[in-house]
Amino acid sequence: MAADLKDLKTQFLEYLEIEKGRSIKTVENYDRYLSRFLAYSKITSPANLTESAVREFRLHLNRQAGTAGTMKHKTQNYYMISLRAFLKFLRKRDIESLNPERIELAKVGARDLDLITSAELERLMAGPKGSGLSELRDRAILELFFSTGLRVSELCSLNRDLDLTRDEFSIRGKGEKIRVVFLSPAAKRVIKEYLDKRGDVDEALFIQMGKGSKNAKELRLTPRSVERLVKKYAIKAGITRKVTPHVIRHSFATDLLQNGADLRSVQALLGHANIATTQVYTHVTDKHLHEVHKKFHGTGRK
């Protein structure tokens, strides 16, 4: 007798974690999306998973209230991507079910980038004042973000044994892919100042400080803590729009492109698996095209 969909879902999640090397967070997301589909459809057999069942679920998702009145297509697509991956897993194991190619993703509009100006970035970076340990830590975090373009989870995973005699280090990013990132002189200098002032023996590069850290089992800063830290300095810098660690990552990428870096190099530095993900930045760097048009177009006409 064939296993039911709940058992197969468990096998699929284990496959994602062990064989595909997906992060725990990714596995948890897939679990949430698939569990919601199974709970709504009440389907237990792979053979009963039909296009009609998927369509009904999509209608259900589309009618869920969101900030815009309905669930965003981008969010709906997360459910479809997880379901499609699950169906591919079933097909790989010769289990009869819906063809994964029958699931199409909803069209979404071009992604808007959350960007800050160069002046705003400078004010943000200059936010942490003083020579106290927490100020040095915060300055090191901001400098490291802009120097490397790291994701917040990647930054939080770093240990204090970072080799500051070198200008580069390797980081394990999404999908367990390893890439090289580079340290600016400013980032190296402030990280050294921060580490020299540390009096603890915790292995994490960036740690909690203050009252909450005294009873904490884990001193390593969490991504949420770093997000709050960046928000604090953005408010201090008088930036009215939302600023997150990812916004600094955007600034890292656009700074490179605007100064002449090619898209493939930026893709490698960001750790994007697909060049299409990096291409979201190109419209930002196309602003100079107006000047090109103005300078060179129609020069032969009187």
Question: What pLDDT, in 10s, does the model give residues 154-164?
Answer: 999 999 999 99
Where is pLDDT greater, at 274 or 222? Answer: 222
pLDDT category of residue 19 using cuts at 50, 70 and 90? confident
Q: Which of 40-44, 49-53, 264-268 has the lowest mean pLDDT?
A: 264-268
Q: Please list the active-site residues.
A: 151, 174, 246, 249, 272, 281
Exposed/middle/buried for 17, CB within 10 Å: 0-12, 13-18, 19+? middle
- Tell me the pLDDT tens digit for each residue of 111-124: 556 778 888 989 99
* CATH of the domain spanning 5-102, picked from 1.10.150.130, 1.20.58.2030, 3.40.50.180, 3.30.43.10: 1.10.150.130
At 294, is the secondary structure helix, strand, or coil? helix
Domain(s) of CATH 1.10.150.130: residues in the chain: 5-102
Q: Specify the pLDDT at position 65.
A: 64
Whether residue 234 contacts residue 221, with contact meaning beta carbons closer than 8 Å, is answered with: no
Domain(s) of CATH 1.10.443.10: residues in the chain: 118-288
H-assigned helices in the chain: 5-18, 24-41, 51-62, 73-92, 118-125, 133-148, 152-156, 185-197, 223-236, 245-258, 263-270, 275-278, 282-285, 289-296
Q: Specify the pLDDT at position 215.
A: 63
Tell me yes or no: is domain 118-288 CATH 2.40.30.170: no
pLDDT of 277 above 80: no
* DSSP for residue 177: -
